[in-house]
Structure 1
Amino acid sequence: VLDGRIHRGRHLLGGEFGYMLYGNDDTVSHLGTIVNAADRYNRANGTDLDGKALYELAKTGQPLAQKAVRDMLQVLATTIFNLQYSLDPDCFVIGGGISQNSDLLADLNQALDVVMAKVEIAPIRPIVRIAKFQAEANLYGAAVNFQQHQRSR
């Protein structure tokens, strides 16, 4: 959202941050989501966990699960940091299923601490919030988008 309106961009790709590359390895959507972190964990460990179960396992202290979640959070924190210094928004709002995790905000802020420590000249710390409608945020966003589109006709 830019200036109170959903930003689509010329090619309708505005806000598709998951397409961004993270290093030379892969896309943010592949490395920075709990669903894909669980998929990588499952392939490496012969398990069948979803993202919620992986996060819960990490909280019990299981080292490989902790690493999977920590790596995902670091990608997400780095992406948020980079977007802060590209777009300079007021804040970042996290929605989707992961936003229902009560530990997410604290864990993501810890990952942001790591990123901020690497770039001492960066004066602004990104502000991250959880979407009011959490996992249903995309549905409400679609409704607002529809309303805005109808008004502009």
Structure 2
Amino acid sequence: MSAADTVEEAAPENDCAIGVDIGGTKVAAGLVDAEGTVVARTRRDTPDRSCSPRVVENTIVGAVEELLDRAGDEGRAVSAVGIGAAGFVGADRATVVFAPHLSWRDEPLRESLGSRIGRPITVDNDANAAAWAESRFGAARGESHVVMITLGTGIGGALVIDHELQRGRFGTAGEFGHMQVVPDGIRCECGNRGCWEQYASGNALVREARGLMSARSPVAEDLLARVGGDPSRLAGPLVTEAAREGDPTARELIAEIGHWLGVGMAGLAAAFDPGSFVIGGGVSAAGELLLDPAREAFRRRLPGRGYRPEARIVQAALGPDAGLIGAADLARHESGPAH
């Protein structure tokens, strides 16, 4: 029996929930049915971090109210609202302890929104929401033990074990990006050195590419041409585009990110023994150019290699919708009769 079969066995056809995914640049919201299909969506720009919590709250409420109106027009019932936030969410699933891109510090978000939205509200970390969506409806559907890794500016992550999200004692499990993989390595924004995300993330990819470009290395000529000779204009998607078009340096850079991705996953396999690793986030758009080197490094570093089953390593299937789909589905289950 799959995870999809164990929860919401008799959901009405028109039963929907609203999921809100709050990122550094946009607030994406969707009306999501019981099968994980986004039937309506809207988006807003994320308020600047200098804005007060009330401004962010108003942005969320505006998006939710728009979707509630659209649901009403279509005769759909909305049972709950789920919020996926980039940051630390407390074990109470109600408080955003810290959000790096917003002004939230110990923000009682569920309480603040509850009186205005008029639906049960669930708050969770955005990577948790994405992992839940991929395990319920996406690349790991039916898999009982899943590690989700999101490669963006940094590295986020989440754990699903026995079809249940594992949030940790204080609600902040899954911060895989800050595991140390290189003693005394590159300084990380968290204050430590050698963190995984300094070697296997979008920031790492851009840093290495700009280093070659700034040195005027002949191997970076194609990348330099793509940004008019200005390394500061380089972004991760451009490196991925160049790699797909056959640029050998871009391919080498992505393969290096893939290598470090595999190194970190081997450590996670030793700790959690998952059946699947699901790789999401913007850097995952490189597809097999990233995943093939990751699988190779994973096999070489896996403890007991050759004598144990290996986890699948797959690209996420739901793309940028994963966060809002997962947030909506978690909210639906949290507000159900069993809760």
Whether the TM-score (by the shorter chain) exceeds 0.5 is yes
Cα distance in 1 for residues equivalent to 2:282 and 2:302: 30
TM superposition shift of 1:73: 0.7
Corresponding residue for 1:116? Answer: 299
**Is 1:27 the equivalent of 2:195?**
yes
Aligned residues of 2:254 and 2:290 also touching (Cα < 8 A): no
Q: Structure 1, residues 5-59: CA drift from partner, whole Å, max 9, x if none?
A: 2211012222221121122122122321134311342255241222121123234
Q: Say whether 1:105 aligns with 2:264.
A: no
CA contact (8 A) 1:96 1:136 kept: no
Whole-Å separation in 2 of the counterparts to 1:39 and 1:126:
30
State yes or no: 1:14 paired with 2:173. Answer: yes
* One-letter amino acid matched to 1:133: L
Equivalent of residue 94 in structure 1, options 279, 290, 302: 279
SS in 1 for 2:174: coil
Q: Who is 2:76 aligned against?
A: none
After superposition, the Cα gap between the structure-2 partners of 1:20 and 1:143, relative to the gap in structure 1 and judged at 3 Å, is farther
> Could you say which structure has the larger radius of gyration?
2
Q: Distance in 1 between matches of 2:329 and 2:299?
A: 34
Q: In the alignment, what sits opposite 2:40? A: none
1:139 paired with 2:327, answer: no
Identify the residue that residue 127 of structure 1 maps to in structure 2: 312
Shift of residue 137, structure 1, vs aligned partner: 1.6
Q: Distance in 2 between matches of 1:146 and 1:89?
A: 25
The count of aligned residue pairs is 150
Asked whether 1:3 is paired with 2:162, we answer: yes
CA distance, structure 2, for counterparts of residue 50 and residue 28 of structure 1: 20
Q: Report SS of the residue matched to 1:13.
A: coil
Q: CA deviation at 1:133?
A: 0.9
Task: Give deviations 1:109-144, integer Å, cap 9, x for gaps.
Answer: 333224424558312322012222122222222223
Q: Which residue of 2 aligns with 1:39?
A: 207
Question: Secondary structure of the residue that 2:207 maps to in structure 1?
Answer: helix
SS in 2 for 1:22: coil
The C-alpha deviation readout for 1:88-111, integer Å capped at 9, x for no partner, is: 111011222233x2x523641333
Alpha-carbon distance change, 54 to 114 in structure 1, aligned in 2, over 3 angstroms? same
**Which residue in the other structure is 1:76 paired with?**
261
SS at match of 2:295: helix
Contact kept? 2:254, 2:289, Cα under 8 Å: no
Q: Which has the higher helix share?
A: 1
Is residue 247 of structure 2 the alignment partner of residue 61 of structure 1? yes
In the alignment, the residues of structure 2 paired with residue 9 and residue 120 of structure 1 have an alpha-carbon distance, to the nearest angstrom, of 25
Tell me, yes or no, if the aligned pair for 2:240 and 2:254 is still in contact at 8 Å. Answer: yes
Give the 4+ runs in structure 1 shifted more than 6 A: none
- Greater length-normalized contact order (CA 8 Å, ≥ 6 residues apart): 2
In the alignment, the residues of structure 2 paired with residue 127 and residue 16 of structure 1 have an alpha-carbon distance, to the nearest angstrom, of: 21
Question: Structure 1 residues 119, 111: closer, same or farther in 2, change over 3 A?
Answer: same
Closer, same or farther in 2 for the Cα pair 1:61/1:106, shift >3 Å? closer
- How many angstroms apart in 1 are the aligned matches of 2:295 and 2:252? 16
Identity across matched positions, percent: 23
Q: What is the Cα-based RMSD across aligned positions, in Å?
A: 2.5
Structure 1 residues 148 and 19, CA gap change in structure 2 (3 angstroms)? farther
